Amino acid sequence: MTNISTSGIDGRSLRRERNRQDIVDALLELIENGETEITAALIANKAGLSERSIFRYFDDVSDLHRSVCDQAFSKEIAIALIDDAGTGSLDTKIENFINQRVRIYTMNEKIAPAARSFAFKNPIIKNQIVRGRKLLRIQIIKHFEEELSALDKQQQQAAVAIIDSLTTFETYDMMRSDQKMSVHTIKSILTESIRKALQ
């Protein structure tokens, strides 16, 4: 009897987790497909569940948004390392650094604006974004440590601030969406700008 009961509980838990994941995947897919008017009914239909069931698996809309952002941030961590970090010539370092940033931002072209929108009402998501920006800024300092060490403290701060500003998602998105630049053009602009900042 105990085994049957435990099996039933385990089955319900697995079904609950599967349904939660289906809802998260549905919302993430809608965002990545460029949907702008996303309703609970649309999410439910995409997930193959009833609209009412969404709020059986999530406390509220913020809880759902947080789960979606958690999944997106987890995927980002997998590609967040810079290839051969801190090694090679300056040209190689800049190339590897820019390639990493473009990888991250290309993967997050749709979810990043959504996450920033969610952050207005969700302090947990806001903190995740702030923490992510800090980690990316630390990468700049470590990756270009040799070049930065040749500058005085004020110049170092200025160089890091310039590179950080040039390589935010917002800057990348502005060049891609507003100015309709190709990824190749963006890489060329960033390469020259970062080189100048470090010199």
pLDDT tens, 33-65?
877 788 888 899 998 988 888 888 888 888 888
Using pLDDT thresholds of 50, 70 and 90, give the confidence band for residue 12.
confident
Query: How much is the pLDDT for 5?
Result: 57
Q: Indicate whether this model's pTM tops 0.85.
A: no
Q: How distant, in Å, are the alpha carbons of 5, 19, 67, 75, 78 from that of 71? A: 32, 15, 6, 6, 11
